[in-house]
Structure 1
Amino acid sequence: MRIDDLRNKSDAVTVSYIATTIHNSYVKRLAWIKKNQTTLLYSELSEQELVAVESICSTTDKYSEFNFTVLEKLLTVSELSVIMSIYFKGYTATETAHLLGVSRQAVNQAKLRALEKIKVFYWDKPKEVRP
């Protein structure tokens, strides 16, 4: 959009463009803040929040007992890092690509290769051979 177009404040297209741009940047920034906000003082929590935190901490993480050595032997280093980033750390393909310094397409290809290897390993073998 050209700067000359911004001079007319009554233009609905311009106002809509600015509003959408501000909204999108706010949503993007808010998501980044939520993702990177990891430090929280225990003393700042309300009574209800303390109960919620303690109930979450008292539950068992279903991935804590997962045997990652099977994945380490089965997958390449790049495939394993992609699977760990996307499925266990919750990053998107774009964020994973940025972290690993590769393209989003490379991340998606590594993910598909890894998922295919996992599928073949776990589902295409008889049950008595599976770990």
Structure 2
Amino acid sequence: MDSLKNIIIQSKNGDKDCMLLMIQKFMPLIKKYSNKLSYDDAREDLIIGFMEIIGDMPVDKSIKFDEEKYIVGYINISMKHLYVKLLKKLIKLSDNETGLYLNTMLENDNVDTSEFINNRIILKELLNKISAYQRYIIISIYFLDLSEDQIAKNLKVSRQAINRTKLRALKSLKEMLLNDGVDFIGK
């Protein structure tokens, strides 16, 4: 059987069977990150990213890649970076969807428009001051009406972890509002 380095070199040279063999070999890693992302096309996005990682891998330029452990380590780290990139994209998309939700609320006739706009500006400023992860959880719970259990399932973490993050975020938001609220209103 060919070494992993040879299989990668053949994959880079267009051998589809070798690329398929690489995908099969690293499918557990792809599934792991796909389950963590938990959106419909996550697996396909990760497979495409994996193929790009293999295509860009400098196996023929480095002596390090003669040992299989370095190749596996490189792929593991590259896949983790890809996962983080896709997660950030997912969080950004969620933020955009929340903006659309807030815009539709403006159309409600029962809302004082000027007060709503002021509150929305303050809310956006406050939400931008917490971490993206905390913002994702707060938006998911309070604007998208997702339960802590649903979010925990989507992110593959415990419900308690979601609850702790929510409570920390709410505490931070409250402190910022109490300490800096006058600054927000004056802007």
Q: TM-score range by the shorter chain?
A: 0.3 to 0.5
* Structure number having the greater helix percentage: 2
Larger relative CO (CA 8 A, sep 6+): 1 or 2?
Answer: 2
